[in-house]
Structure 1
Amino acid sequence: MNTDSNAELSHTPPPQGAAAKWAPTRAALSRNWALRWPLLLSALACGPLTVVMINEFNHPGVHGMAKLGKVAIQPVALFFVFGTMFGSVFVWINRRRRKALFRHPWTIWPIRYISAGKYEWIDLLGQSGEIVSTLILSTWAWDRGKLVNHNTREVWFAGDPSKYGVVSRPGGRDMRYAYVSRVHTAPRFTFQERQSDPSAGGRHAAD
């Protein structure tokens, strides 16, 4: 499990300017590009393909290869439904990530980590330790606690704390989309208190 160290925090200041201009962040943005759009476009193509297959194969008396076509109707239809759904979500999240990274710089935020069930959140903390915003991380179940966890004291954040943005470990390479959720709110009894209070919130390295 990955954790942040004080040495890493002190030796990796965020860059000036938009976060997307930082070379490690640009490289991270280019990852998985071959998954999002091909998934969405191939899933969309399965819509009309399903209609064609139903017209051609879904009737009595089919035999030979036509039987295989009839069997394939349901998997193709399911891929159309779920592939379109997941592909659309991936493309939408990537668009929001890019928007946040091209409009906002990386800033340093002290955080409090919260995890419950299949969700995880971070509290962005102000200079006096007050909660400025609570963001839910867009994380697969098997990735919870890998980017940030109860040992994480600070993160890099690019975005609008009151709406959405991108969270990263120092360095801007490993990122998660994070947003304010009105549906999935953080339970306040699961976080672990730290031994010392954070001294500053939402600051740039030059501050």
Structure 2
Amino acid sequence: MTEEDLNHNSDSSDVEDVGGGLFDEPDGGRTVVITDYPDPDLIQNIEYNKLHSLASVDDDEASLQNEDGTRKVVLPKSSTIHCTGYIWGAPPDPLLEISPGGYDLCILSDLLFNHSQHEALLKSLKFTLAKPDGVALVFFTPHRPWLYEKDLNFFNIVRESGELEVEQVVDKVLDKVMLEEPRGDQSLLLKVFGYKITWKK
């Protein structure tokens, strides 16, 4: 999946980010909800990132740059962005109050390491992914390479649910390791995998 594909999916759409990492993603969503565990410090950090990483289409060029030289994410005037605490598997009422029809695009970023919560994560995805055309994008790096197969088991659970389809769309090699880990297959530490999840037609 290219950046153009992702922009197409997010343009004029309602977007849910599960894990608080949306600020590196292409922009254009009409309503964006960023969720994380409902810990006040975590939510405050997301609010801080929102404040310092987003810009308006009307901002001048200087204000579009972060202090480290990176460019801020530019959202159209019509976009709204919410930061919400949410526990996977819990009733989705707080999320569906914001977007009653569910979310056209759900982004799950580096969450699969939490193996005990795969069922709850899937439950939340099924609660919130818009029907019939919603798309979920799942990105992860196996930071514990010896548990890579357990990371992948999430997609087995998704398939076995019988309602969703899974397709691998990204297999990228990084220039350097994000987190050092001496155990396991070192080549996996340089990999980013991406999968697309959609409702069965």
Q: TM-score range by the shorter chain?
A: under 0.3
TM superposition score normalised by structure 2 = 0.19
Which of the pair is proportionally richer in helix? 1
TM superposition score normalised by structure 1 = 0.19
